[in-house]
Structure 1
Amino acid sequence: MHFTFTSEQRLDDGVLEREFTLGEIPGTLWTPGSADTSTSASSSPQVPLVLMAHNNGLPKAQPRLMARARHTAACGYAVATIDAAGCGDRPRSAAEEQARADLRRAMRAGEPVDEIFESVVGPMVEKAVPEWRTTLDALLALPGIGGPVGYSGWTALGIRLAALDPRIAAAGFFAGGYVPRAQREEARQITIPLLLLLQWDDEGNPRQRALDLFDAFGSERKTLHANLGGHTGTPWFEVEDGGRFYDRHLK
């Protein structure tokens, strides 16, 4: 697939923000001011790459994701996100739209939603992973960007990526999205360093399920940070701690 930068702007903190397309995949790449991605790969110092995905396929332009991406780039990393298949504004099939409608109805009615989540999130992960891996191939071919590679964000997607792709060297997960049964089993295969963020009072995600998932991960280098508050209440200092986590394992 053809990789093309479609726009760029230099932000106040020196970070270069560029929109790109890779075939039908839209994405954004942030690189630190110190990075030179205009020269040949052989002569350009390389910075580590962090892939950043929002929970359950929300848009790549979601403000909380963009703030995390800019901060991480300013700390010396290339950071990339995409709208994979079924995510953001990309079209969904009639079956996917119906499953989402069923989920909204069940949540309003207070009905059990796990099986509906399985029908929404499971296929989304299956479709998204190949596009993320294709994007990773393209990004690592750019001058100035190299391994090791980190991952941040959507837990279900990150588990599958880490299980399939040995280039993922460390991962930070948010325990705020539904993790399908298949990925809960795959968690046992994950042995890279992990940081799991848990909102103790997350209204939509049972605390015990997140604790069970943390226990299931096969890594001997895993850390759990729990904070009081609801789904979107993760404190900003966790973003800063996340930077130190990547510094330990990617630099």
Structure 2
Amino acid sequence: MNIQGKVAVITGGASGLGRATAEALVARGGRVMILDRDQEKGAETAAALGEAAAFVQTDVTDEASVKAAIDATRDRFGALHLCVNCAGVGSAMKTVGRDNQPHDLGVFNMVVQINLIGTFNVARLAAALMAENEPGDDNERGVIVNTASVAAFDGQVGQVAYAATKGGVVGMTLPMARDLAQFGIRVNTIAPGIFNTPLMNAAPDKVKMPLIEMTQFPKRLGDPPEYAALVCHMVENTFLNGETIRLDGGIRMQPR
């Protein structure tokens, strides 16, 4: 799919991977609706991108909130062709911790709600609007790119909730692609390694440095524009469908 003139919704679009993706799509002639909980950052990002961008405050776990955002995208830009899910949260808690304290179920549920259910909630509602598009080349109507993590495959100690949700995103990639094939909508997933995002920057050096050491080459954090470049390739390469691609500098995370 040619990005020029296409319309995208991007969750978590006010910072990190989402903002880099918004910038890349606009630079290629696309238009973007930024979906984010952060009113201030969302409005600032949309303003920085100019008339090709807009912002709507959105809770990805809430059906009415996401539906309103999808409707706002249609009303503002006339259609929807692309959906990129970057919204997510991390957690650090063992299944059983100190003094035999079990993992807080509320924390586990919160991570599932945002990372997994939120991703599905946005994807399903976006796909329903994409299905109304006139088909383009190869009868294509839309593209969905979801975000997992290398933790889906190499989850570390304390990442049980996070890894479970990201594994769920990987697991639904192929069946979602199969579900939507009849409408000409492709679905792919990116599984990033450690990236220079607000989530990772909040971690202390004692957490970040061992992860950088586990990265084969280059030994550094990933840059958000590198993630955005892969999103653009997934959009433009029509034969890429139902696939999860690790973007991680060759990292294979150790237990700790």
Where on the TM-score scale, by shorter chain, does this alignment land: which range? 0.3 to 0.5
Output the TM-score relative to the length of structure 1: 0.43
Answer 1 or 2: which has greater helix percent: 2
Answer 1 or 2: which has greater strand percent: 1
Larger RCO (CA within 8 A; separation ≥ 6): 2
Output the TM-score relative to the length of structure 2: 0.43
